[in-house]
């Protein structure tokens, strides 16, 4: 199968990764072991790892919506917790972004020591019509960002939740077109998922091209190795869809009309890191001006995380306050 750099619209020409791949859980002392992949990114990435604690006024799941079935009530409760965790993470993410900009002297002048302090401004999230999270650049926070040399059109944020934990990331760099992060609680695959079920799960979301490479790569692996491999494929697919700003259309009501189909975005190789793009994903890359992808993944035996960044050849021009 030919390998080609750049973003390809065909399944038989995967995206050639300039860098990336698996990262040891001991690969970085600055991030949690499960999220060591963050430290391997080619640009500084702000991050927050936290537990999804119950919110103060959280009612019992059965009281979230008395007209809803229990499953719907639990989903409402989960969404409330996740939204609260994201709100709690925003000031820390923003403060890290400001500090990193000051450290790299993007303003062209002496660094302002006040930029490293956590922001006390009220920060919220807005979302594109496809659901991608964005920072609203207005008010005092926008002034802080301007002083730091933080450009809205180069700044991206992503969140992921699983196993009662949240991982949030943000980055700002010239030519950065998108960032996506995903977290998998491996216990979900440990329970009642033998080798045969793991392969059936892989067939549910992989394209024939991706599945063929996956089966060759996992031949002879232990059940644990197959479990980690299938989790990495799924996680990288999720993270890449977030970097595209669309999320995934998984079927069964999951996803938006404009989301990328699960079989139009896949992984050709975990090491070296290479992606496969179908027509939907390739069209989205073209719309973003993304020319290169970067992917990393890591795990500590409990959680597996992945990080994907999309890069263009020229500085971005579309402001985040007016997402496509």
Q: Is residue 278 part of a domain?
A: yes
pLDDT tens-digit readout, 118-171: 455 667 888 888 888 988 777 888 888 888 888 888 999 999 999 999 999 999
Chain-centroid distance of CA 214 in Å reads 22
Report how far residue 224's alpha carbon sits from residue 184's, in angstroms, rounded to the nearest whole number.
Answer: 15
What tokens does 304 get? 């597996």
Q: Is residue 273 part of a domain?
A: yes
Q: What is the pLDDT of residue 119?
A: 52
What is the side-by-side order of every strand in the sheet holding 292-299? 20-23, 292-299, 303-311, 176-185
What is the side-by-side order of every strand in the sheet holding 165-172? 46-51, 165-172, 155-162
Q: Is residue 319 part of a domain?
A: no
Q: What is the pLDDT of residue 62?
A: 38
CATH number, residue 33: 3.90.470.20
Three-class SS state of 259? coil
Report how far residue 74's alpha carbon sits from residue 81's, in angstroms, rounded to the nearest whole number.
Answer: 11
Indicate the pTM of the whole model.
Answer: 0.82
Nearest to 270 by CA among 238, 296, 292, 302: 296
Show the domain range for 153. 4-311
Rg (CA), the chain: 20
List Cβ neighbours of 100 (8 Å cut-off, separation of 6 or more). Answer: 44, 46, 172
Report how far residue 46's alpha carbon sits from residue 173's, in angstroms, rounded to the nearest whole number.
Answer: 12
Report how far residue 274's alpha carbon sits from residue 20's, in angstroms, rounded to the nearest whole number.
Answer: 8
Structural domain total, the chain: 1
Residue ranges of the chain whose pLDDT lies below 70: 1-30, 55-71, 102-122, 191-193, 250-255, 315-324
Q: Is residue 318 part of a domain?
A: no
Nearest to 41 by CA among 14, 8, 19: 19
Q: What is the pLDDT of residue 137?
A: 79
Q: What is the pLDDT of residue 108?
A: 42
Q: Is residue 234 part of a domain?
A: yes
What DSSP letter does each residue of 263-298 carry, written as one string? GGEEEEEETTEEEEE-HHHHHHHHHHT--EEEEEEE
Specify whether the CB–CB gap between 88 and 117 falls below 8 A.
Answer: no
- For 299, phi then psi, to 5°, come to -155, 160
Q: Is residue 316 part of a domain?
A: no
pLDDT tens-digit readout, 72-97: 777 888 888 998 999 899 989 998 98
Q: What share of the chain is helix, strand, coil (3-state, %, to 5)?
A: 35, 25, 40
CA dihedral 127→129→131→136, nearest 10 degrees, is -10
Q: Is residue 324 part of a domain?
A: no
């Amino acid at each position: 199968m030919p390998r080609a750099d750049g973003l390809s619209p065909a399944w038989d020409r995967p995206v050639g990764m300039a860098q990336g791949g698996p990262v040891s859980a001991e690969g970085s002392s600055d991030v949690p072991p499960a999220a060591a992949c963050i430290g391997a990114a080619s640009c500084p990435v702000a991050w927050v790892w936290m537990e999804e604690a119950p919110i103060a006024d959280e009612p019992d799941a059965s009281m979230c919506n008395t007209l809803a079935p229990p499953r719907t009530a639990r989903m409402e409760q989960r969404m409330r917790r996740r939204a609260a965790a994201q709100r709690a993470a925003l000031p820390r993410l923003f403060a890290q972004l400001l500090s990193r900009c000051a450290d790299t002297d993007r303003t062209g002048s002496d660094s302002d020591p006040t930029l490293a302090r956590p922001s006390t401004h009220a920060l919220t999230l807005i979302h594109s019509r496809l659901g991608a999270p964005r920072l609203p650049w207005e008010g005092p926070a926008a002034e802080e960002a301007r002083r730091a040399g933080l450009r809205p059109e180069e700044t991206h944020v992503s969140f992921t939740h699983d196993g009662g934990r949240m991982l949030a990331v943000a980055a700002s760099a010239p030519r950065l077109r998108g960032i996506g992060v995903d977290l998998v609680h491996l216990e979900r695959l440990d329970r009642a998922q033998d080798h045969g079920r793991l392969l059936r799960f892989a067939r549910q979301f992989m394209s024939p091209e991706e599945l063929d490479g996956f089966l060759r790569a996992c031949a002879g692996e232990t059940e644990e190795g197959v479990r980690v491999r299938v989790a990495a494929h799924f996680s990288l697919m999720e993270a890449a869809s977030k970097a595209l700003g669309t999320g995934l259309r998984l079927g069964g009501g999951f996803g938006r009309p404009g989301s990328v189909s699960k079989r139009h975005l896949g992984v050709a190789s975990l090491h070296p890191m290479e992606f496969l793009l179908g027509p939907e994903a390739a069209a989205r890359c073209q719309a973003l001006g993304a020319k290169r992808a970067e992917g990393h993944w890591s795990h500590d035996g409990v959680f597996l995380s992945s990080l994907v960044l999309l890069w263009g050849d020229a500085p971005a021009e579309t402001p985040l306050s007016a997402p496509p």
